[in-house]
C-alpha cells in the first residue's frame, strides 16, 4: 500500500510517498509558490537525479494534480497509476480540543476543523486548501488527518488551564494545547520500546529544532508540555521568545509603539536565539561564533540549555520520577554541546552523559544511548519521523474502516 503524506502551507505543499509494506519513502518533494507566478515542483527520489520544473499551479487542487502527474510520469515518477495511492494522510497543526487522535475525513470532521481556524488561522486555512485540493484531484481516495496537538490532549486540566478568568477560556478556548505532538509521540513510543514497557514509564521528550518543545510523558500519555495556547510558549527558540514575563509584552508595546500584530511578529520573528545573539537563529552559526569567542552567541545558547535543564527537573517532579530522557529534532539530534550542557549537574537525578558517545552522535538514522552504562536514567538521541507516524496512522485507520 502506498500512502501519500501531505503537509500543506498557504503557498506550498510538501509531500512524501510511503511504501507501507517496505517501510520506506519512495519519493518526496514540494510544490512551491502556489497561486503565484513561477510556481514550481521540486521532486526527489532515492538514487535518482532531482527533478525541478516550473508549472502553473493556481491553487492547491492544481498543485495536487501536478504532484500526481509527476508521481505517475514515466520519466521522473515512481508509480504507474494514481490508483496505487490508497490513501492520503494530512499533517494538521491544530486540532483544538476537538481531536485527540487521528481521524478519517468526513464532512463532520471538516466542520470541526473549520472551528479550529481561529486557533491557527494561517495553518488551518492552508490545511483546508490542501485537503480540499486532494479530495478534488483524487476523488474517492480516503483522507486521514493527523494533528500536532492530538497527543497532548491527555493533559490534566490543571496543566492545560492558564490562571485567567474561566469565562475567557470558555469564550475563546484559551488553554494549553502544545505542539510537535506527532514527534513527541513517535520518540516516546520508541523509548517505550527500548524500556520494554509503556505502563509505569516516566519519559521526558525534548524536541529541539527551530521551534522547540519538551513534554512529560507518563504511561505513554502526555501530562504536560512546554508549548501552550500557541507555539510561542515555553523554551527560547530560533526566533521566538518562548515564555517571558507577560508584563514585558505590554511594556514593549507601550515603549516601542507596537500594535498587537507588530508585537506578535516581534515575539515570533525577532527574539529567541536570534534576538539575544544579534547574529543568527541557527545553532550551527552560533556554535561557530561561540568557538570564535562571541559572547552573546554563548549567552543565547546558555539561556536555552538552562531552560532545558529546568524543564527536565520540573517534569521529573511533575511525574514523581524519571525513567528516560530523549533528545530529538535538528538541535536535539545534532548539537552535542547543547545536550551535554542541558544535562550537566543532573547527576542527582541519576543522569550521567557519556561525553565520547555524546560527541560522536549526530546525523544518525538510528537511536543512540548517550548516557553512561552506569547512568541510572538512560538518555537517548532518537531521530524523529513525523511523516512515518502520519503514514502509519493513515494506513491503520483506512484498514480499520475496511473491516
Stretch that binds ligand ADP, among 42-50, 138-146, 330-338, 369-377 (CB under 6 A): 330-338
Beta bridge partners of 25: 18
Beta bridge partners of 369: 380
Stretch that binds ligand ADP, among 131-139, 168-176, 325-333, 370-378 (CB under 6 A): 325-333
Q: Give 261 or 363: the residue with its C-beta nearer to ligand ADP.
A: 363
Catalytic residue, chosen from 19, 50, 62, 148, is 148
Sign of CA dihedral 125, 131, 137, 140: negative
Q: Give 191 or 286: the residue with its C-beta nearer to ligand ADP.
A: 286
Lookup result for grid cell 513510543? 189
User: In the bound complex, what is the minimum distance in angstroms from residue 243's beta carbon to ligand ADP?
Assistant: 18
Distance CA 398, CA 401 (A): 5
Lookup result for grid cell 503537509? 7
Pairing of strands 202-208, 51-54: unpaired
> Among candidates 381, 383, 349, 342, which has minimal Cα distance to 365?
383
Stretch that binds ligand ADP, among 17-25, 249-257, 258-266, 326-334 (CB under 6 A): 326-334
Sheet holding 2-8, edge to edge: 51-54, 40-44, 24-32, 13-19, 2-8, 85-92, 143-147, 103-104
Enumerate residues 6+ apart whose C-beta is below 8 A from 36.
11
Beta-strand ranges (E) seen in 66-190 are 85-92, 103-104, 143-147
Alpha carbon 194 to chain centroid distance?
Answer: 22
User: In the bound complex, what is the minimum distance in angstroms from residue 329's beta carbon to ligand ADP?
Assistant: 4
Look up 354 and say whether it is catalytic.
no
Contact predicate 226/236, CB 8 Å: no
Q: Which of 334, 361, 371, 375 binds ligand ADP (CB under 6 A)?
A: 334
Q: Which helix (H) or strand (E) holds 266?
A: helix 260-269
Q: Give 223 or 329: the residue with its C-beta nearer to ligand ADP.
A: 329
Question: Please, which of residues 175-234 interact with ligand ADP by CB under 6 A?
Answer: 209-211
Q: Give 132 or 296: the residue with its C-beta nearer to ligand ADP.
A: 296
Examine residue 12 and tell whether it contacts ligand ADP (CB under 6 A): no
Examine residue 69 and tell whether it contacts ligand ADP (CB under 6 A): no
User: In the bound complex, what is the minimum distance in angstroms from residue 273's beta carbon to ligand ADP?
Assistant: 7
Contact predicate 155/176, CB 8 Å: yes
Radius of gyration of the chain (CA): 22
Cell numbers linked to 259? 500594535
User: In the bound complex, what is the minimum distance in angstroms from residue 122's beta carbon to ligand ADP?
Assistant: 16
Question: Please, which of residues 344-383 interact with ligand ADP by CB under 6 A?
Answer: 362-363
Examine residue 272 and tell whether it contacts ligand ADP (CB under 6 A): no
Q: Give 328 or 392: the residue with its C-beta nearer to ligand ADP.
A: 328
User: In the bound complex, what is the minimum distance in angstroms from residue 231's beta carbon to ligand ADP?
Assistant: 10
Q: Which of 304, 331, 341, 342 binds ligand ADP (CB under 6 A)?
A: 331
User: In the bound complex, what is the minimum distance in angstroms from residue 80's beta carbon to ligand ADP?
Assistant: 33
Burial 165-182 (b: 16+ CB within 10 A, else e): eeeebeeebbbbbbbbbb
Examine residue 329 and tell whether it contacts ligand ADP (CB under 6 A): yes
Q: Give 5 or 283: the residue with its C-beta nearer to ligand ADP.
A: 283
Examine residue 275 and tell whether it contacts ligand ADP (CB under 6 A): no
Task: List active site positions.
Answer: 148
* Interface contacts to ligand ADP, rule CB under 6 A: 209-211, 238, 282-284, 329-331, 334-335, 362-363
Amino acid at each position: 500500500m502506498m500512502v501519500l503524506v501531505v503537509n500543506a502551507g498557504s503557498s506550498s505543499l510538501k509531500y512524501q510517498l510511503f511504501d507501507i509494506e517496505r517501510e520506506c519513502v519512495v519519493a518526496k518533494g514540494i510544490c512551491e509558490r502556489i497561486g503565484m507566478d513561477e510556481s514550481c515542483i521540486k521532486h526527489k527520489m532515492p538514487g535518482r537525479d532531482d527533478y525541478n520544473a516550473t508549472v502553473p499551479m493556481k491553487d492547491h487542487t492544481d498543485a495536487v494534480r501536478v504532484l500526481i502527474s509527476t508521481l505517475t510520469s514515466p520519466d521522473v515518477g515512481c508509480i504507474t497509476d494514481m490508483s496505487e495511492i490508497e490513501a492520503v494522510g494530512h499533517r494538521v497543526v491544530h486540532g483544538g480540543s476537538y481531536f485527540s487522535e487521528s481521524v478519517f475525513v468526513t464532512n463532520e470532521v471538516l466542520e470541526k476543523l473549520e472551528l479550529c481556524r481561529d486557533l491557527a488561522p494561517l495553518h488551518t486555512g492552508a490545511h483546508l486548501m490542501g485537503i480540499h485540493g486532494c479530495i478534488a484531484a483524487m476523488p474517492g481516495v480516503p483522507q486521514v488527518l493527523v494533528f500536532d496537538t492530538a497527543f497532548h490532549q491527555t493533559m490534566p486540566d490543571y496543566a492545560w488551564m492558564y490562571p485567567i478568568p474561566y469565562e475567557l477560556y470558555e469564550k475563546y478556548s484559551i488553554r494549553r494545547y502544545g505542539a510537535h505532538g506527532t514527534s513527541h509521540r513517535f520518540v516516546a513510543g520508541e523509548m517505550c520500546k527500548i524500556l520494554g514497557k509503556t505502563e509505569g514509564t516516566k519519559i521526558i521528550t525534548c524536541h529541539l529544532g527551530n521551534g522547540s518543545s519538551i513534554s512529560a510523558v507518563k504511561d505513554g500519555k502526555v501530562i504536560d508540555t512546554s508549548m501552550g495556547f500557541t507555539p510561542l510558549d515555553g523554551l527560547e527558540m530560533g526566533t521566538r521568545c518562548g515564555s517571558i514575563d507577560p508584563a514585558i509584552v505590554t511594556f514593549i508595546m507601550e515603549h516601542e509603539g507596537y500594535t498587537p500584530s507588530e508585537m506578535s511578529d516581534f515575539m515570533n520573528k525577532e527574539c529567541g536565539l536570534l534576538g539575544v545573539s544579534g547574529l543568527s537563529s541557527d545553532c550551527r552559526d552560533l556554535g561557530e561564533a561561540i568557538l570564535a569567542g562571541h559572547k552573546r552567541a554563548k549567552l543565547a545558547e546558555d539561556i536555552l540549555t538552562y531552560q532545558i535543564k529546568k524543564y527536565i527537573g520540573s517534569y521529573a517532579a511533575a511525574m514523581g520520577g524519571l525513567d528516560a530522557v530523549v533528545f530529538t529534532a535538528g538541535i536535539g539530534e545534532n548539537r552535542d554541546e547543547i545536550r551535554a550542557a542541558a544535562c550537566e549537574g543532573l547527576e542527582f537525578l541519576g543522569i550521567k552523559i557519556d561525553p565520547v558517545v555524546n560527541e560522536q552522535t549526530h546525523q544518525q538514522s538510528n537511536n543512540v544511548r548517550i548516557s553512561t552504562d552506569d547512568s541510572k536514567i538512560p538518555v537517548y538521541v532518537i531521530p524523529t519521523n513525523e511523516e512515518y507516524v502520519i503514514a502509519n496512522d493513515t494506513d491503520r485507520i483506512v484498514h480499520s474502516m475496511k473491516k
